[in-house]
Amino acid sequence: MSSNVNRQWLFAERPEGKLGVEHFGYRESAVPTPGPGQVLVRHRVLQLMPGNRSWMQRDTYRSPLETDQVMPGYAIGEVVASNDLSFKPGDVVETMLGWQDYALASAAALKRRDTPASMEDLMGLLGLSGLTAYFGLLHVGRPRAGETLLVSAAAGGIGSVVAQLGRISGCRVVGIAGGPEKCAWLLNEVGLDAVVDYKAGDLADALSAACPNGVDLYFDNVGGRILEAALDVLKFGGRIVCCGATAHYDSDTPSRGPLGLPLKLIVKSLTMHGFANYGYGAHEREAESNLLKWLSDGSLKTFYHIVEGLEKTPEALVGMMAGMNRGMLLVRV
Amino acid sequence: MSSNVNRQWLFAERPEGKLGVEHFGYRESAVPTPGPGQVLVRHRVLQLMPGNRSWMQRDTYRSPLETDQVMPGYAIGEVVASNDLSFKPGDVVETMLGWQDYALASAAALKRRDTPASMEDLMGLLGLSGLTAYFGLLHVGRPRAGETLLVSAAAGGIGSVVAQLGRISGCRVVGIAGGPEKCAWLLNEVGLDAVVDYKAGDLADALSAACPNGVDLYFDNVGGRILEAALDVLKFGGRIVCCGATAHYDSDTPSRGPLGLPLKLIVKSLTMHGFANYGYGAHEREAESNLLKWLSDGSLKTFYHIVEGLEKTPEALVGMMAGMNRGMLLVRV
């Protein structure tokens, strides 16, 4: 591709049901020139996550998307031209400007990423999913050694880090995932203590068998019937970190709420923490430092599913919503 | 009534829908004689609360009731005969032995109540409802001066204390109640800052109008659609204390869960604390001392709806579930 073409994926249409590639549009435009105070960034790695899908649906974390806007999303890349004194060509920066080769940003909207690490690690383990796992589990869930930690979507980008951070914290870690392959991978590669395949057999029975002494801390990435089932294996005084609700994202039908709430919270004195990774900026250096330490001493592994080429981004997100990938999903632009 | 007759109200039948007096049975038996290690208690004041109704339904706080067992419930009275060295006639004690004139208890199952206060205050403000309000609001919800506190079932036994403790904590207190009379009473007698009548007009609009700057802390006694509506007026980072779910008690139909959970918790980083008043025994003296101090200095008032006569107990509970009373419902046996 010529370097004076900017490939862009657009939000074309709000899905009525499951996401498909037809809900995206494609456009090639000229690489823009930065105006006063603007910075031109060449995107190198994108991260895809279920949140991208939820933005296409309704007003959740952010305002609804407008037709033909560039699909937003986290991206990392380098500055190629700058009309702002705070950035110079070659600086590594993070943007929210999504699915395109080049993005024009105001300097104030860019986040400098000067930690010495690969673009993949900056967008993956040290990106939103890794930090969400770190803050959600360690700052909000506060696992203690000897506790049982249950994690849903354990094979996902956030779940696979949460599970490992739980092990580092001294917990017995039980994961929930769909299908025998993901479950075997979680046991053998990620190193969980037990796994529950939510697609096989009775979920309540399987959870009870995998957590014979109950669950102290449940890290929920999915909501829906898995959250309902987890409520029944939590111990008195147990905690839930609600980090995601993927069961509710890929549909235009409003979900019913979790059955038995709030009574099940009351009778077992459970606490449910809704968690979105806002307001932890002051702790990001701490998180990066710890994550890199655990990575270097081998107690933490990264699992990246890397898609080569911006052109494959829509099908990659569709595949993620269908449960195709393990670990974090990154696109090399 | 002769003192050698023990009047007893029994659980007769699990209600299919709303509670009625026909779901209770009545029996007169002889006043029992304490065996070794047993204590005979003359009940003087019972407390009725929505929990009594929930026990008749399913397995919630306790095992399901058996047909023809005496209706359980909190009661206060004095020891009339004792075969245990730790209790003597005249001692004031609390039992869970419910709707009867006399109860035979093992000494281990009795709670001594030696705080100098009336039987009504020991069962009301210093009883389960008052302590639930105290610990649920002050230990779990942790209101701070300047915050907006929203309380549902604000005219109820727990809610009317929570609202006052919120005012003592320096909060702006907004109550939710049903009907103009209760709302006027909350404003004029209990001293709330604003009130929302959930039976009048659009609940969401009324909540927004009463809480123009949003809600920091929501104390929920009801669950159901009022909990759903409250989620929308909570501020980012807001807290919910789930203390009761009366909207779910008076029915045999399993309720759907609150719509929008868990996503609404996530996007606003809300925390939902299920609270049952267990495990606070070590703090009861602190609670009694503070409640009595606020009572004596006029910053807290007691509101008792007192029913005279054990014979009226079933109709009093039916009336409570229909929203008939204000403040705490006590029965003088």
pLDDT digits 0-9 by tens, A98-108: 999 999 999 98
Percent of chain B with pLDDT over 70: 97
B290 neighbors A297 (Cβ within 8 angstroms): no
CB nearest A257 (choices: B242, B243, B261): B261
How close, in Å, is residue A259 to chain B by CA atoms? 4
Average pLDDT in chain A: 94
CA distance A328 to A321: 13
- Amino acid present at B243: C
Q: In whole angstroms, what separates CA A174 from the centre of its chain?
A: 19
Per-residue pLDDT at A279: 85
Question: Closest partner residue to B266 among A242, A262, A269, by Cβ?
Answer: A242
Q: What is the pLDDT of residue A31?
A: 96
- Quick one: pLDDT band at residue A1, thresholds 50, 70, 90? very low
* pLDDT at site B1: 45
Of A16 and A120, which is predicted with more confidence? A120
Among the partner-chain residues A245, A266, A274, the one whose CB lies closest to the CB of B269 is A274
Reported as a pLDDT band with limits 50, 70 and 90, residue B63 is confident
Structure confidence at residue B49 (pLDDT):
92
Chain A partners of B61 at a C-beta cutoff of 8 Å?
267
Is the pLDDT assigned to residue A161 strictly greater than 90?
A: yes
Angle at A36 (CA atoms; ends A32, A39), nearest 5 degrees: 50
pLDDT tens-digit readout, B78-95: 999 999 999 999 999 999
Which range among A50-59, A138-147, B201-210 shows the weakest confidence by mean pLDDT?
Answer: A50-59
Pairing assessment for the beta strands A328-332 and B5-11 based on DSSP bridges: unpaired
Chain A residues inside the 8 Å CB shell of B230: none
Pairing of strands B328-332, B24-30: unpaired
Question: Average pLDDT of A151-159?
Answer: 97
- Asked if A273 and B271 come within 8 Å (Cβ–Cβ), the reply is yes
B278 touches chain A (CB under 8 A): yes
B64 at interface of A, judged by CB pairs closer than 8 A = no
On chain B, the residues whose CB falls within 8 A of the CB of A49 are none
Question: Does A259 sit within 8 Å of B266, measured CB to CB?
Answer: no
Smallest Cα distance from A252 to chain B, Å: 13
- Max avg pLDDT among B252-256, B264-268, B321-325: B264-268
Q: CB distance from A261 to chain B under 8 Å?
A: yes
pTM summary value? 0.91
Q: Which of B60, B257, B272 sits opposite A267 (nearest CB)?
A: B60
B269 close contact with A: CB closer than 8 A: yes
ipTM: 0.89
A239 Cβ contact partners less than 8 Å away, ≥ 6 residues apart: A141, A142, A216, A217, A218, A270, A271, A272, A273
- Which positions in chain A touch B243 (Cβ < 8 Å)? 266
- 3-state SS, A99-115, equals CECEEEEEHHHCEECCC
CB-based contact A259 B256, cutoff 8 Å: yes
Residue contact B223–A60, C-beta within 8 A: no
pLDDT band per the 50, 70, 90 thresholds, residue A254: low
Residues 6+ apart with CB under 8 A from B209: none
Which residues of A fall within a CB distance of 8 Å from B259? 254-257
B260 chain-A contacts, CB cut-off 8 A: 254, 257
The position carrying tokens 């509670």 is B19
